Amino acid sequence: MSQSPLEMRHLQTLLALAETGSLGKAAERVFVTQSALSHQLKALEARYGAPLFERNTKPLRFTQAGTKLVELARTVLAMTAQAEREVAQWVSGRSGALRVAVECHTCFDWLMPAMDAFREHWPDVELDLVGGFQIDPMALVESGAADFA
């Protein structure tokens, strides 16, 4: 399987080109010169063996190959932005997941009020009771299947 030539900068360039409709404006948006942007696009076109857009048209029109790559850019860049937001929230401690293993039903007398208090302080952290009652909840913690027992 060959390595894809696409990099995030290419996807950002394609999206900027689609949104602005002009090489000059797209170059400004992604902070490169128009010449550098043209070289990027020509390298992609050479790699795929097809033009990505029709030259000298107003408004700019993407070819079938270019349209497919713009769709990819929209999807990948949106997913990347969402993942980066989630990671930032996890790192800051504002969100995440806490998997709790419970050994017996008597734990619920104190566990539910404790979980309610936890949610007041960390509403974006998902609390999950791991698969019912466990004979050896510490084994789940040690194996990584639970965070807390």
**Which helix (H) or strand (E) element contains residue 126?**
strand 124-133
Q: What is the CATH number assigned to the segment(s) 93-143?
A: 3.40.190.10
One CATH from 1.10.10.10, 3.30.390.50, 1.10.3470.10, 1.10.238.10 for 8-89 = 1.10.10.10
Please give the radius of gyration of the chain, using alpha carbons only, rounded to the nearest integer. Answer: 25
Instruction: Tell me if 8-89 shares its fold with 93-143.
Output: no
Domain spans in the chain, listed from the N-terminal domain onward: 8-89, 93-143
Cis peptide before 5 (omega within 30 of 0): no
Q: What is the pTM for the complete model shown?
A: 0.66
Q: What is the pLDDT along the chain (149 residues), one digit of tens a residue?
A: 678 889 999 999 999 999 999 999 999 999 999 999 999 999 999 999 999 999 888 889 999 999 999 999 999 999 999 899 888 877 876 777 788 888 776 777 788 888 888 888 878 788 887 766 677 888 888 888 888 88
